[in-house]
Structure 1
């Protein structure tokens, strides 16, 4: 088989794998956080400041509470989806899917380009690396969740910048300029782009192919010089974060990454939650053990390639550079995590790691001799990942069906609510470990999901908010929403009646029936016992099916 036919066969195999693995993605609907931009975009349109608010994201964070999220470009892509496709989730998901598949291709190609491989083996290596990234089970959260767009776009531009850097021959040529533009785009998508300066520096060092070159200070200086423009972009990004948020490194509210890395309690807490979190991403039972075993063999074979006598110094340097890049992705994320949730959430934290790991495996396959052992075990790892990925995608499709049904039921409840009455709708935070109504409460009461706002006669809450209901009732949530918009309430507007006003009807979501069912409580005698009665009923009813009530997120 000649090289061209080998390349065609290899990438045809990748295309078939992509069609098999990614087919369910276009059946996924808006879930959880996805409803936030929908509600905001419609609100801004009504106020005539849609464009102005999008431009403001260039110098402010997203509307995410105390979190320091600077993601204007990926957020702008949401706006484009909204303008072009409205509530048709397929268009939104198609963008995520395209970014995921393109990143897979680039991950495999980066590894092969870095070691300078050519021919049939190189084509096989690039395609296998791409399949490995594509099948990465925790990536379901990125590829099949609209809110995963932040990670999908940041990783896409990060890998694109790296690939173009490898294609450039000198600073200032078209490829290097395009690489810098991609680097800026990555930083405008999500904070995970922080790996980029380290990756470019490592790639710059690995491009020195002189067999006699050793790791000298002069070589390090040369690598810094070649990557200096990318380092300057990264430094400018950090300065901008300090100007916008008062911190170079803080991303999530309540975290102190600079001090977390110095405390044993932080690392022990993170390590203690890792096993359950990892197992949640590899289902059914037994897949987590299998993926660890197969990956250990894969790493052993990669190490054999790295330290084999037949591997040149230049190739060894390239492989070690990719090892370091993958390790850096973990090192940069770890101080921001705290504790991992005991569910299928947080796979995005390893998305960049998967990209550079796939590049490493592709590079190792490209230079391995013999190639068959590593190629075969890589197929095995991809199959295990792919099986778990499909299981996760199936749950996401099922959860999407639940959300479509819930929206229909909320519309029915709204229409059935009589003048003067007020309905409290309770829904699960997550369903079968997939984010469901968390952060969607406002969006499930507002346009564009519904033709008109529902807040004056209907309130949506999640089960975990039931203990907070007494305070909200005493604070006048029903009275306030009867007279003011959800946005005014969120901005702090409160109207208290002489006596606490209760919802006249309470319903909860039954996933098996796909219906909102009545919760048999009557208003009073006081907010706390009323809320406790609701909580007891929900926990013991069909509304609790598939929900992780009371479990930390």
Structure 2
């Protein structure tokens, strides 16, 4: 009888696994046509070129950081070579095949989640049913947050690690039940899978902790907790030894104990590590996984989701009120500890990634999350008819919920297809520009085009450059392409000094990508050339002409009072005063300077906020679809006094590329705001100069400069045009911590509190010598200067930074 039951259960498990695999495939089916996105093209060209030239060089990933590119972060993930090499050899440029691999890994993780839930409930709750493990697997298979791990080829680092993670855990459980040769074989499989998980992603370090926590929880009621603790450590001692070996090897390979993403050691992010577990953005991603661009389209799905949550909450309350199956406390205790550990480890980087785009960090977390969710809703006991009816009702609700999640995952996968089309238009446009300008030695990509509907495309310039390499594109494209900022996140910022230095080089083309029209736009070569007949410092009064007036706003057309070059305008300064009226309750007084003809059709979102010198809050606005700014805005002080508000146009690449003086409009709220002055300013008498001489420095493609020799690191500074300046201070950033990310602006009126070093320079003009001892760690460093008066107060603004690369 027992043998027959075993066979029957085996068939049920196989059928359940097959159904869950199909659900996993169908939920993310559109991702088959998502192509290469972001890092995918770079990783393809990396693997392809080494396989066809020096295949053994790929083994460098076991002795150094991933792909030998420390710019974006120090990661030790050599096991990721396996799926990449497989896809290159089997599928080559057939991206559908690559996504079949991704879906297969996700399906395997789904089946492992089901089998793990089955085994855990058998051992911790003595429940031998299949409904709870099956629905836990369904929740895992269909969760929309997994779209990044399935639709994005590089995102499968999480699913690949999770596959080995769950295999290690499941094999460990089987080894506890077996004896002799089967037990030893299961333990070997578990240890090998643990090592593979560690070499796939850093989250694998939690395996020994989770296994020890399981051993502790499983024996807690039988022996005292102190003995249970020691017994758990003894049962997992080999895993702890394996972890110690991994940490040693990883530290030697990376040259550091910590590693990870650069800039994630800030105090702000340390606080997020603790408080981010309950941050609304992360909770929204977990419980309402609908991206903002699709919220209107999926409004009915959103309402259905909320209704199902109400039903689930009622079923959960009834489940513990009617069914007293308190045997589930041990699996819930274990799974809760696992969930908190996994979530705490990724909460900080997930928060920094931003909601749904960082959903891959939730992949492993969703395993205990899905099992707990099923346990809290579906009763394990069906002794009475009431319990049976409640179980059927709960199963029905969770089943409908899983189907809805699958539908949302299907829609979420479609976003990645459109992101691929957007990225393809960018890359093909760059290739076409290169083909039509064969004499160009340098093509400077001005604006990032880094995001599409909240999905990251090119986090760094290296990603873009790697995608433009052979065999995907002709060999000359990646050699010509350059940028001003190594990290091309969705900050539409422009380092004007670096741009001018690039444009002074012969055969240079400056261009940008308009994500709305999907077209390349080039910048005239004389954009920043001064008119000899005009004074070097331009201060031109502006004119305002009312266009429309509504109860809450007034819109003005704006233009300079005389003809002037757009490239010579650094900012628009507006002097205004306002008082908040009673009918403006809930609305902050504000001004919005826009320059896009179709600004009303653009979806503008707030990028960042900071305090201006006069206390007003300035807000940069960007277009969510292509990271192009269509406007700048600031909130006004409603005290009836006159304040000056500055809109720094020359540091916005979208203005330089696409803006026109004839399209400038100013929107003011409240309409009673009194504007007393409008000026178009050039700020060369407020911003000191800092430059790298071509004789001593090589301007690299990623926007940095590298020293031509190790003898002297010398930059040139000039603050002679800053009125009232008595001395100059210089500061150097910490490696890879770029100053614009602290304020989302280059126009900063104070030195940074996060600098690596500050020191005073002699005179107002001369050479600034940098010392090798200041750069003990290889990396990229921002260097900038500021002018101070005799009272020690900073005058004007800090200079545009020069980013130097130290190997």
More deviation, 144-153/459-468: 459-468
More deviation, 367-376/304-313: 304-313
In the superposition, relative to structure 1, how do residues 374 and 463 fare at CA in structure 2: closer, same or farther (>3 Å)? Answer: closer
In the superposition, relative to structure 1, how do residues 9 and 334 fare at CA in structure 2: closer, same or farther (>3 Å)? Answer: closer
After superposition, residues 133-532 of structure 1 pair within 5 angstroms as 133-168=140-175, 169=178, 173-208=184-219, 213-245=222-254, 247-256=256-265, 263=271, 267=275, 271=279, 274=282, 281-283=289-291, 284-285=294-295, 294=308, 298=312, 310-311=324-325, 313=327, 315-336=328-349, 339=352, 341=354, 344-361=356-373, 365=378, 367-369=380-382, 370=387, 371-420=391-440, 423-424=443-444, 428-439=449-460, 440-455=463-478, 457-459=480-482, 464=490, 467-468=493-494, 470-476=496-502, 499-501=504-506, 503-504=508-509, 506-511=511-516, 515-519=518-522, 521-526=524-529, 530=567
Asked if the contact 2:434–2:440 (Cα under 8 Å) also holds between the matched residues in 1, the reply is no
| Whole-Å separation in 2 of the counterparts to 1:504 and 1:305 | 67
Report the counterpart of residue 483 of structure 1 in structure 2: none
| Residue aligned with 1:506, SS | strand
In the superposition, relative to structure 1, how do residues 362 and 309 fare at CA in structure 2: closer, same or farther (>3 Å)? Answer: closer
Bigger-Rg structure (1/2): 2
| Bigger share in helix | 1
Task: Give the CA deviation at 1:508.
Answer: 2.1
In the superposition, relative to structure 1, how do residues 291 and 175 fare at CA in structure 2: closer, same or farther (>3 Å)? Answer: farther
* 2:65 counterpart (44, 61, 67): 61
Which 5+ residue runs of structure 1 have no aligned equivalent? 479-498
| Whole-Å separation in 1 of the counterparts to 2:136 and 2:368 | 10
| Whole-Å separation in 2 of the counterparts to 1:301 and 1:166 | 31
Task: Give the CA deviation at 1:329.
Answer: 0.6
Asked if the contact 2:439–2:507 (Cα under 8 Å) also holds between the matched residues in 1, the reply is no
Return the structure number with greater relative CO, CA threshold 8 A, min gap 6: 1
Task: Give the CA deviation at 1:93.
Answer: 1.8
In the superposition, relative to structure 1, how do residues 124 and 215 fare at CA in structure 2: closer, same or farther (>3 Å)? Answer: same
Task: Give the CA deviation at 1:178.
Answer: 0.2
Q: TM-score, normalised by structure 2?
A: 0.56
Asked if the contact 2:454–2:624 (Cα under 8 Å) also holds between the matched residues in 1, the reply is no
| Whole-Å separation in 1 of the counterparts to 2:212 and 2:200 | 21
| Whole-Å separation in 1 of the counterparts to 2:350 and 2:201 | 15
In the superposition, relative to structure 1, how do residues 120 and 368 fare at CA in structure 2: closer, same or farther (>3 Å)? Answer: closer
| Bigger share in strand | 2
In the superposition, relative to structure 1, how do residues 72 and 509 fare at CA in structure 2: closer, same or farther (>3 Å)? Answer: same
**What is the alpha-carbon root mean square deviation over aligned residues?**
4.2
Task: Give the CA deviation at 1:238.
Answer: 2.9
* 1:25 counterpart (14, 31, 42): 31
Task: Give the CA deviation at 1:146.
Answer: 0.7
Asked if the contact 1:14–1:131 (Cα under 8 Å) also holds between the matched residues in 2, the reply is yes
Q: TM-score, normalised by structure 1?
A: 0.79
Count of equivalent residues: 522
Task: Give the CA deviation at 1:137.
Answer: 1.2
After superposition, residues 48-127 of structure 1 pair within 5 angstroms as 48-52=53-57, 54-62=58-66, 63-65=69-71, 67-116=73-122, 122-127=129-134
Asked if the contact 2:325–2:379 (Cα under 8 Å) also holds between the matched residues in 1, the reply is no
Task: Give the CA deviation at 1:347.
Answer: 0.5
| Residue aligned with 1:397, SS | helix
| Residue aligned with 2:71, SS | coil
